[in-house]
Amino acid sequence: MNPLIPIVLSGGAGTRLWPVSREGHPKPFMKLPDGQSLLAKTYLRAMGGDHVADVLTITNRDYYFSSKDEFNRVVEQSSCNVKGSFLLEPFGRNTAPAIALGALWARELHGPGATLLVLPSDHLIQDARAFHANVREAVVAAGEGQLVTFGIPAASPETGFGYIEGGETLGTGLARGIRRFTEKPSLAKAQEFVASGNYFWNSGMFCFTADTLLEELAAHAPQMHQALMACWENTWQASDDKWRVLEIDAQTFGDVPDLSIDYAVMEHSSRGVVVPAAFDWSDIGSWNALGALLPEDEQGNRTQGDTVLIKASNNLIQSEDRLVAVLGVDHLVIVDTPDALLVAHKDHVQDVRQVVTELRTMGHDCYRTHRTVSRPWGTYTVLEEGSRFKIKRLEVRPGAALSLQMHHYRSEHWIVVSGVAKVINGEREIDINTNESTYIPAGHKHRLLNPGVVDLVLIEVQSGDYLGEDDIVRFDDHYGRV
């Protein structure tokens, strides 16, 4: 049996889901009402397949540590014995280059018959049993040399999706031939497609062997194939028992055409087939879609967090840590985060990306970062910034360490409020227990470690003339950030 290698594509900013989704914390990392992120759900889906021993994540290198953390949590929770592989892009280059590099890697490591299951990480599928039954169908077709797409039976005339027109049923399985791919259609066209009953939304999920894909890529996009071979030769690899990381070379990657897998291969190949999805599927494309996951009250309101509703109906309210009171309003989407609030009419949720565009134009930081920022060692949250001071809460995971570093302009007071810290401060190395503190003068080399088995929570009060994140000189780092 050939191994099944899920390839999780983790890209896409999800700007329509601002202010929760941001450039530094994009849609795959958003937690759904059940507390699990879309990426975690995708990993669970990936690991649930038969004969899965290795999951490849293809993502921007900025999301490496966050993705790895998410992967690790899923492995721990599900007790799957699966290796985590990460193919890191220096920048986005659409789906064809990413998937083809994944195929090159799979062929080299797992043989030419390795079967790839391509899964975008920002979709929601709740019926795992039906999904895996479909995947088994797809694996059989892939084994016969076909390029399988998963088609979602078009139930409504969405104009934001690509469509696949289904052809003849092939053999005894569910797979059908493909008559045609259609880019995002007009509403009239979309309505026609839905009425015909023979059209599917192109879900972006695929299944094929590494060899089939690479053969078809060479045949239909020879220039890309050639550029990718050069890029693959320059891709840097490292691995141990548990993890494998591949860093794509930026220079040669830049020479690869920016094309989708549909455009580069699927639309030209005669080997494409579609497996109609028997499972539910949502791309969580807007706040309305996300809201649908919350229970509805008698007035049609869906809420999460601390809320008071008076004379209010059909609203979606999501609050993280503040009270949201609404009065006499309906059909609103209200999304509250520590540093930014969105109030939108439900009919306009598709335009949330315009807010993000506007914020980017303004140079406003909150299109990009949240108040809580992920780091390889845990997270930090800016609690307050004032004149000449900044207060942060740091959460450091067990066994993790910040880099050995030094600041020119700021000194730092550290107070441990939970767990225990090991601190290197100039020449000294000390343990700081809960409710103890230390002081790092400007110019001192220092390092913070969590030697314990529970999270370390530390309050940092910075003081100085300049408090920018870029006042940092790193001398040593466990995460290669020197």
Task: Examine residue 342 and tell whether it contacts a copy of itself (CB under 8 A).
Answer: yes
Task: Examine residue 180 and tell whether it contacts a copy of itself (CB under 8 A).
Answer: no
Smallest separation, CB 468 to a copy of itself (Å): 17
DSSP alpha helices (H): ranges in 425-475?
Answer: none
Report how far residue 199's alpha carbon sits from residue 193's, in angstroms, rounded to the nearest whole number. 6
Task: Examine residue 358 and tell whether it contacts a copy of itself (CB under 8 A).
Answer: yes
Smallest separation, CB 336 to a copy of itself (Å): 6
Task: Examine residue 364 and tell whether it contacts a copy of itself (CB under 8 A).
Answer: yes
368, 23 Cβ separation under 8 angstroms? yes
- Tell me how far the alpha carbon of residue 116 is from its chain's centroid: 19
Smallest separation, CB 283 to a copy of itself (Å): 20
How far separated are the first and last CA of the chain, in Å rounded? 43
Report how far residue 261's alpha carbon sits from residue 272's, in angstroms, rounded to the nearest whole number. 12
Residue 30 DSSP code: P
Tell me how long the chain is.
482
Task: Examine residue 457 and tell whether it contacts a copy of itself (CB under 8 A).
Answer: yes
Q: Which of 322, 360, 408, 428 binds a copy of itself (CB under 8 A)?
A: 322
Query: If residue 210 lies in a helix (H) or strand (E), which one and from where to where?
Result: helix 210-220
Smallest separation, CB 79 to a copy of itself (Å): 28
412-446 b/e with 16+ CB inside 10 Å = b?
bebbbeebbbbbbbeeeeeebeeeeebebebebbb
DSSP alpha helices (H): ranges in 48-145?
Answer: 64-78, 95-110, 128-143
225, 100 Cβ separation under 8 angstroms? yes
Smallest separation, CB 22 to a copy of itself (Å): 12
**Nearest partner of 90 among 63, 69, 108, judged by Cα:** 63
Number of residues this chain uses to bind a copy of itself (CB under 8 A): 59
Residue 283 or 336 having the CB closest to a copy of itself: 336
Piece of 32-40, 205-213, 421-429, 455-463 that binds a copy of itself (CB under 8 A):
455-463
Smallest separation, CB 302 to a copy of itself (Å): 15
**Nearest partner of 246 among 398, 86, 34, judged by Cα:** 86
Q: Which of 13, 253, 336, 404 binds a copy of itself (CB under 8 A)?
A: 336
Instruction: Pick out residues in 14-53 that bind a copy of itself (CB under 8 A).
Output: 18-19
Task: Examine residue 454 and tell whether it contacts a copy of itself (CB under 8 A).
Answer: no
Piece of 86-94, 219-227, 274-282, 453-461 that binds a copy of itself (CB under 8 A):
453-461
Report how far residue 321's alpha carbon sits from residue 298's, in angstroms, rounded to the nearest whole number. 24
Task: Examine residue 345 and tell whether it contacts a copy of itself (CB under 8 A).
Answer: yes
CA distances from 372 to 20, 369, 379, 417 (A): 11, 8, 7, 18
Piece of 76-84, 130-138, 354-362, 400-408 that binds a copy of itself (CB under 8 A):
354-362
Query: If residue 201 lies in a helix (H) or strand (E), which one and from where to where?
Result: strand 199-209
Q: Residue 437 has which token pair?
A: 């503190």
Task: Examine residue 354 and tell whether it contacts a copy of itself (CB under 8 A).
Answer: yes
Smallest separation, CB 423 to a copy of itself (Å): 15
CB atoms within 10 A of CB 398: 13
> Checking DSSP bridges between strand 236-239 and strand 147-153, what pairing results, if any?
unpaired
Residue 59 or 286 having the CB closest to a copy of itself: 286
AA letter at 401: A
Residue 267 or 365 having the CB closest to a copy of itself: 365
Task: Examine residue 386 and tell whether it contacts a copy of itself (CB under 8 A).
Answer: yes
Residue 362 or 473 having the CB closest to a copy of itself: 362
Return the SS3 of 70. helix
Task: Examine residue 332 and tell whether it contacts a copy of itself (CB under 8 A).
Answer: yes
Residue 292 or 417 having the CB closest to a copy of itself: 417
Smallest separation, CB 314 to a copy of itself (Å): 13
Task: Examine residue 2 and tell whether it contacts a copy of itself (CB under 8 A).
Answer: no
Report how far residue 289's alpha carbon sits from residue 57's, in angstroms, rounded to the nearest whole number. 25
Q: Name 237's Cβ contacts closer than 8 Å, sequence gap at least 6.
A: 244, 245, 246, 247
Piece of 109-117, 171-179, 213-221, 317-325 that binds a copy of itself (CB under 8 A):
317-325
Instruction: Pick out residues in 403-422 that bind a copy of itself (CB under 8 A).
Output: 411, 413, 415, 417-418
Binding site for a copy of itself (CB under 8 A): 18-19, 306, 308, 310-311, 319, 322-329, 332, 334, 336, 338-345, 347-348, 351-352, 354-355, 358-359, 362, 364, 366, 383-384, 386-389, 391, 393, 411, 413, 415, 417-418, 434-435, 437, 439, 457, 459, 461, 463-464
